[in-house]
Amino acid sequence: MYENIFSSLIDALLLVSRDHRIFLSNPAAWELFRLSRGSLDGLPIADLLLEPAEVERRIESTLASGESYRDLECLVHAGAEGRTFPAGLTISPLQGEGGDCLGAIVMVKDLSLLKELEEGSRQKSNLSAAEGLALRMAHEIRNPLGGIRGSAQLLSQELENPAHREYLDVVIAEVDRINRMVAQMMQLTRPTGPAFEETNIHKVLADIILLEKDNLARHKNRVEQIYDPSLPPIDADADQLKQVFLNLIKNAVEASGKKGRIQIITRVNSGYGIKLLPQATPRQGVVVEIIDSGAGMDEAALKNLFTPFYTTKKKGSGLGLAISLKIVENHGGKIKVTSEKGLGTTVQVLLPLRQR
């Protein structure tokens, strides 16, 4: 019966003699350490541990005083491939018939999955509770939207009266708007890292200005491009940067009203030193400035600028700047905004030249 229990346990058990050598192990231990019973037999337990000192001290104390220890965290290596994983150890005395201490029972739990989950939840805890809720809702909202859109489309095909069809077009357009917003919201919380490649910032800006051509013309906004011809290519994800500058330029247009002036300035910044590591040398970077002579913002608005869902626009999402900041930070860069109510706004995007 005892033997059955011993070999049926799913946690690894090592029986250690007074000289800290393993003399018995269960199948869960062979599995966990990727070692056969034969190679575990006689092995000093220290050989399985990355930093054995603390565990050895506890075993010694167990042998001397009969004390137990629970959930000692340590790093363990297993198998010939040298896999290392975090483990939780419980050490208890192994008592003989006469009550004397024959050795120690060491139970080993693999904590790698638990640690991974912890890491995951720590990353997520960057999200506020409200954002987490918003993300869950976003998922829930998308499914019924598909159904609504599909039904509206079918119904629209059936209708004879074009006026009635127009109503359904409104339904479809509004559904699409919610869908876009929800997609943006999910992007904010999705942890996709940038795919870095050599990127020409002027090309990125040219693409966006082309994209926004109609919008700019409609507002009669004048765009001045003041570009540094010596601007080197940088390591960046061009698609993600397009999203950043598209939003910044849209914001500038939306703040400007009719006949506004928008300046887009690029330059190299050699003194741009964001220190990621204490010993890091100041990194060279590029600066892209987007200056508008629009409505500007007061102190309170400036404070809320990067808060998700903060918007002062009727059809705004309040996600543009939050997403932009996240993208720029993923590039190791920064966004600085200065603004004066009634005078205009300057947005500076600083991006490092190289990612390493």
Ligand X SMILES: Nc1ncnc2c1ncn2[C@@H]1O[C@H](COP(=O)(O)OP(=O)(O)O)[C@@H](O)[C@H]1O
Nearer to Mg ion, 76 or 323 (CB): 323
Shortest CB 244 distance to Mg ion, Å: 11
Binding test (CB under 6 A) with ligand X, winner from 13, 107, 264, 297:
297
Nearer to Mg ion, 94 or 323 (CB): 323
From the list Mg ion, ligand X, none, which binds 240 (C-beta under 5 to 8 Å, kind-based)? none
Shortest CB 320 distance to Mg ion, Å: 3
What residues contact 131, with CB distance under 8 A and at least 6 apart? 188, 189, 308
- Told to check if 6 binds ligand X by CB under 6 A, we report no
The candidate with the shortest Cα–Cα distance to 193, out of 141, 237, 235, 246, is 237
Distance CA 175, CA 135 (A): 18
Binding test (CB under 6 A) with ligand X, winner from 26, 62, 266, 317:
317
Nearer to ligand X, 6 or 309 (CB): 309
Q: By rule CB under 6 A, what string of x and - marks binding of each residue 71-110 to ligand X? A: ----------------------------------------
From the list ligand X, Mg ion, none, which binds 311 (C-beta under 5 to 8 Å, kind-based)? ligand X
Q: How many CB atoms lie within 10 A of CB 328?
A: 20
Nearer to ligand X, 15 or 262 (CB): 262
Distance CA 78, CA 14 (A): 14
Shortest CB 247 distance to Mg ion, Å: 5
The candidate with the shortest Cα–Cα distance to 232, out of 285, 282, 190, is 285
Shortest CB 311 distance to Mg ion, Å: 8
The candidate with the shortest Cα–Cα distance to 246, out of 276, 198, 211, is 211
Shortest CB 295 distance to ligand X, Å: 5
- Told to check if 49 binds ligand X by CB under 6 A, we report no
Strand partners, 261: 222
DSSP 36: -
Binding test (CB under 6 A) with ligand X, winner from 89, 305, 350, 351:
305
Q: By rule CB under 5 A, what string of x and - marks binding of each residue 196-235 to Mg ion? A: ----------------------------------------
What residues contact 27, with CB distance under 8 A and at least 6 apart? 7
Q: By rule CB under 6 A, what string of x and - marks binding of each residue 236-255 to ligand X? A: -----------x---xx--x
By three-state DSSP, how is residue 176 classified?
A: helix
Q: How far is CA 273 from CA 38, 278, 329, 332, 334, in A?
A: 57, 11, 14, 11, 11
Shortest CB 319 distance to Mg ion, Å: 8
Strand partners, 108: 12, 89
Stretch that binds ligand X, among 26-34, 112-120, 279-287, 303-311 (CB under 6 A): 303-311
By three-state DSSP, how is residue 173 classified?
A: helix
Burial level of 260, CB count in 10 A (0-12/13-18/19+)? buried
Residue 231: how many CA atoms within 13 Å on its side-chain side?
A: 24
The candidate with the shortest Cα–Cα distance to 304, out of 326, 284, 321, is 321
Binding test (CB under 5 A) with Mg ion, winner from 199, 221, 243, 251:
251
Q: Which of residues 309-338 bind Mg ion (CB under 5 A)?
A: 320
Distance CA 311, CA 180 (A): 16
Binding test (CB under 6 A) with ligand X, winner from 260, 294, 333, 352:
294
Say how far residue 346 (Cα) sits from the centre of its chain.
28
From the list Mg ion, ligand X, none, which binds 134 (C-beta under 5 to 8 Å, kind-based)? none
Q: Applying CB under 5 A, which residues contact Mg ion?
A: 247, 251, 320
Q: Applying CB under 6 A, which residues contact ligand X?
A: 247, 251-252, 255, 292, 294-297, 301, 305, 310-313, 316-322, 345
